[in-house]
Each structure stands twice: as C-alpha cells, then as structure tokens.
Structure 1
Amino acid sequence: MDRPIGIIDSGFGGLTVAQEIMRQLPKETICYIGDTLRCPYGPRPVDEVRKFTWQMINRLLEENVKMIVIACNTATAVVLEEARSLLSIPVVGVIQPGAISAIQSSNNQHIAVIGTTGTITSNAYATALVAISEQVTVESLACPFFVPLVEQGIIDGEEAERVVEESLKPLKNTDFDTLILGCTHYPLLKPVIESFLPASVTIISSGEETAREVSSLLFHHSINRKSSVEPEHQFFTTGVAESFKHFASKWLAIDTKNVASISLGSSLVFPTMNRQ
C-alpha cells in the first residue's frame, strides 16, 4: 500500500523513532508532524495534551496515512487507547515496546524509567512493566529539563552534563540494571546519560522496538509498501521549517528536504471517527 506512515511528536524527539523506522523499513514513506511551537507536552494538563495530539492526528488523516505512530510518550499515555478505539487504521505507541524490551534485558528485574513529568505522573510505564512481570521493581523519575535542552540543540557539553547529573541524582543509590529513556527526546542525550550511570546498566530506547512493532503490523494487515520507487518523506513543524531541517540533518542525519511549517490552531480538536 503506497500510503505514508504518520508519526507525531511534541517536537524533534520523535525523529529518533522516525529514523529507526526508516532504517528498518527503507521502502516506507514517512509523514511526520512535530509540534515544536507548543513543546514540551510533559508539563501540560492532560486535556491540553489530548487536544494537541488529536489536532496532529487529524492533520495526518488529511494526508491519508495508513498507520499512526504516537512517538511522544506523554501523548501515548494520554491518547493511545482512545485513538485505537476510534480509528480504523493501526495506531502504535512507544510505551509498550519499550517496556517489553526492558523486561527482556533486565537480569534483576529492577528497572528505572526517566521521562517527562506528564509521562511519569501517568504511571504508564510502571503499569506496562507490572502487567508484563509482577516481580519487577520500578523506579520512576521525572527529568523535566531534558526536553528543553534537546529542543535548543544542547545535547552535549558542560550545560548538558550539569543538567543530566543533577537530574539523575535521585537514582544514585538504587541497584537498577536497566534504564528506560521514557521520552523520545532523551536518546539524543544518551551519551551524556550513560556517562553518569554504572557501565553495567542497559539503556533502553523505544525507537528500535517501536519500529519492529510497526513492521509487524504492516505485514499483518498487508499494508506494507511494495513499490521500488524511492520514498519521499514529508515533514511538518509548527515551528520554523529551517530550524527543524537544520536539527534533523545535523543531529540525526535525516534528509528532510520536504519540510513545511503548519498551523494546528484551527485544526479539528475532537476525534475523527473511523477514518480510512
């Protein structure tokens, strides 16, 4: 099926998921929306996150996408189940794939999760982890300063190191052996985060596992793209297109020649039911 896979995020972070989907599924076309103007979503009230997420979903439906990936952990926690119940196309979140991967990687079943305030408050990861294994111990920690760092392009250097070290202090005396990066912005800070953790800790980024789930669903529903023509990806941002293009090309080496600025303020707020 020669229709795009839609991906939404509060900003640049979801590009880490898009990058992995492109790597694993090179024939597929991506249509991405990053709501950089209203990022971050983590501190926002649930109703506001729901409103903004549905605005992005409905905008993607106008692009005739065949699947939607909610590549924002906060939005996944708030909207995923509702979107799955109301839409007739597959909808994938980033929390469950990350939780499954963490359980598989952990030897002592002691797992730490770092994320935005919204994601941590929702308890979505803890719930997903316990649903897989009742023996798991979960340490949850909000790191609200990470997303603003990434959105400013500060992913290394003294400032990034200072913020990461200070944010991770509450985890210092715990014996977790696996850390979930519970926000798609956080993989861009992975080298810095890694430097403040014991070498024995496995870091889980949900991008790879999410891409595997996308692949599985595409083939299960027989909607995988079969064309041998090179896919042309489309990127939309509510911020400045040139800034988006610069970030994607510099930090993720993604070719974003088709980038456009859009406004979601006048888009539909409420769910569009059973759209094909």
Structure 2
Amino acid sequence: MRQGSHSPIGVFDSGVGGLTVLKALMSRLPHESTVYLGDTARVPYGTKSGEVVTRYSLKNAEFLLERGIKLLVVACNTASAVALPALEAALPVPVVGVILPGARAALARTQGGGVGIIGTPGTIRSGAYQRALESADPRVRAKARACPLFVPLAEEGWTTGDVPLLVARDYLAEFTRDGVDTLVLGCTHYPLLKGVIAEVVGPQVALVDSAEATADAVAALLSERGGLAPASRGTPEHAYYVTDVPERFMEVGARFLGRPITAAEQVDLSF
C-alpha cells in the first residue's frame, strides 16, 4: 500500500446513493476511517457523457488523494461503468468499483444462470453489468431493466407501502416470469427498497446488494495487501464533503447511512 494502514478509505458518488456503500464498509470494516465525497452540485452522472463523467471522477479522486486515502471506492455505478480504467491508470492507490463485485456475487449465487440487473438508465445502457457477467461465464443469461423511479422514491423516503410496491410490480414483473433466480441491485439507492423488491420477486429470487459485495471486495483487497487498520487504533473518523449546500445531503443521507450525519463540508471542485 502507498499509504499506511491507518490512512482512510476514500469513497465518492455523485450524491447520496454511495452512502449505502459507505454503510456496508462501516459494518464490514468497523476500524477503518473514511472520507466521503458527494458531488451533489453535478448530480446525476447518468445523464452525462462518458468523457464528462470520467473528468468529474478524476477530479473527485484528486480531492480524496489530497486527504491521504489508501484506497478509493467508486460508489457510483455510472462512474464505475465508464471511468474505472482511467482512475486505475491515474491513481497511485487501489481502486474498487461497484460493478465487478456485484457481478461476481451474482455468479456465486445463481443456480440456473438467469441473472437480472436493475439500475439507472445510464448504468443499464452502458451494458457494464451484462459484460461483466457474460465475460466471466458465457452461460449466464443476463436480463437488465432500468428502474428510474426507484431513485426519487428512495430519496424521498417512500420505501414501504402501496406506492413503491405498485412501481416495483411494474418494473419487476418480467423478472418473475423469465427464469431469473438472482437479481442484482445495480444502483446504490436500491438497497433502501430491498424489502419491496423482495416482496415482488419472491423468495425464489436471491437479491445481490452491490454495496455489500463491494465492502467484501475492499476487505479482501486490504487484507491481501496488509492494509487493514488495526483493531487497536481507537475510534475511526468519518469525514463528509459535498459540492453543493450540505443541508439536504445531511437530511437524506442519514436515511441511506442509517445514522446521523452531524457535519458535512462544502467544497469547490470546479475546473
């Protein structure tokens, strides 16, 4: 590792969704300090070109490197789909995206090879999950569907009840009849709707949370490279930065993180 084991893990996303990845990291690696950057001034990334997303991602990574991170987690499916090669080439620390861990977890879970992927239109359009699955196992039958309304439902706290259930039934009906036995939640917002999604697809379909799979991948990589923070290090520190006013990030983000966010600093990452 270029940095010491006491150095923090850096995490970035275009907004609050990546906090589900951070939550999984905190649970899986409770002794690690973290630095989270939400590029809230330029959200969403899914509607922007690959070139623009790559430029934003490199700027985000530069900011986090200045804070001494030992590893970067790209907690954004769109950035993972289009910017990961550029980040890996440019950075002196390991880089982990959310797509490959999610795909690998799905391959480990599927029994019959029918894997569904749900995500934002940008992620589904990129074909990144489908390529990751089919290149690892050509026998996999990958079926993908964009579920754009899941994002505002999660951000507004509409994660239970008739409204999200109606939306989920419309989006997920095809997965219940096409031989899918494993479903990848390919957006960092979607874990908040896991209960509704599970109710619609039924117990015969295993849900793969890419946030949890990513946390497992980070733990394995740090362990392999001798970079895990020691249990004796004391209380870890968690810092939050955003590129727009922090109040809504703190309010909505607390639901995604499962704990209060008491402070977030606004920073300027303009070019």
Q: Give TM-score scaled by structure 2 length.
A: 0.91
Equivalent pairs: percent with the same residue? Answer: 39
Work out whether 1:246 is the aligned partner of 2:259: no
Q: Distance in 2 between matches of 1:142 and 1:253?
A: 26
Pick aligned residue for 2:195 from 191, 195, 207: 191
CA shift for structure 1 position 240: 3.3
Q: Give 2:44's aligned amino acid.
A: P
Residues 77-129 of structure 1, C-alpha deviation per residue, up to 9 Å, x if partnerless? 11112211221100001111111111111111100001111111111111111
Q: Which residues in structure 2 correspond to 1:72-151 (within 5 Å)? A: 72-151=76-155
> Which deviates the most, 179-188 or 36-45?
36-45
Q: Distance in 2 between matches of 1:228 and 1:172?
A: 47
Q: Distance in 2 between matches of 1:58 and 1:148?
A: 29
> Which deviates the most, 201-210 or 49-58?
49-58
Conserved? CA contact 2:20–2:256, under 8 Å? no
Pick aligned residue for 2:42 from 38, 43, 46: 38
Where 2:254 maps in the other structure, the secondary structure is: helix
Q: Give 1:260's aligned amino acid.
A: E
> Which deviates the most, 106-115 or 207-216?
207-216
Work out whether 1:237 is the aligned partner of 2:242: yes
Q: Which residues in structure 2 correspond to 1:252-263 (within 5 Å)? A: 252-263=257-268
Q: Give 2:238's aligned amino acid.
A: H
Residues 58-94 of structure 1, C-alpha deviation per residue, up to 9 Å, x if partnerless? 1111211111000111110111122112211000011
Q: Distance in 2 between matches of 1:79 and 1:46?
A: 7
Q: Which residue of 2 aligns with 1:270?
A: none
Q: Give 1:261's aligned amino acid.
A: Q
Residues 199, 136 of structure 1: alpha-carbon distance in 2 compared, 3 angstrom cutoff: same
Q: Which residues in structure 2 correspond to 1:161-200 (within 5 Å)? A: 161-200=165-204
Q: Which residue of 2 aligns with 1:220?
A: 224
> Which deviates the most, 176-185 or 77-86?
77-86
Q: Distance in 1 between matches of 2:38 and 2:189?
A: 12
Q: Give 2:185's aligned amino acid.
A: L
Residues 170, 57 of structure 1: alpha-carbon distance in 2 compared, 3 angstrom cutoff: same
Q: Which residue of 1 aligns with 2:8?
A: 4
Q: Give 2:236's aligned amino acid.
A: P
Conserved? CA contact 1:42–1:144, under 8 Å? no
> Which deviates the most, 230-239 or 242-251?
242-251
Conserved? CA contact 1:239–1:261, under 8 Å? yes
> Which deviates the most, 4-13 or 214-223?
214-223
Q: Give 1:61's aligned amino acid.
A: L
Residues 100, 224 of structure 1: alpha-carbon distance in 2 compared, 3 angstrom cutoff: same
Residues 201, 52 of structure 1: alpha-carbon distance in 2 compared, 3 angstrom cutoff: same
CA shift for structure 1 position 255: 4.3
CA shift for structure 1 position 171: 3.4
Conserved? CA contact 2:10–2:71, under 8 Å? yes
CA shift for structure 1 position 244: 2.1
Q: Give 1:96's aligned amino acid.
A: L
Q: Give 2:79's aligned amino acid.
A: A
Q: Which residue of 2 aligns with 1:156?
A: 160
Give the superposed CA RMSD: 1.8
Conserved? CA contact 1:40–1:147, under 8 Å? no
Q: Distance in 1 between matches of 2:15 and 2:167?
A: 20
Work out whether 1:202 is the aligned partner of 2:200: no
Residues 1-55 of structure 1, C-alpha deviation per residue, up to 9 Å, x if partnerless? 2211000112111111111111111110010011233322223222222222222
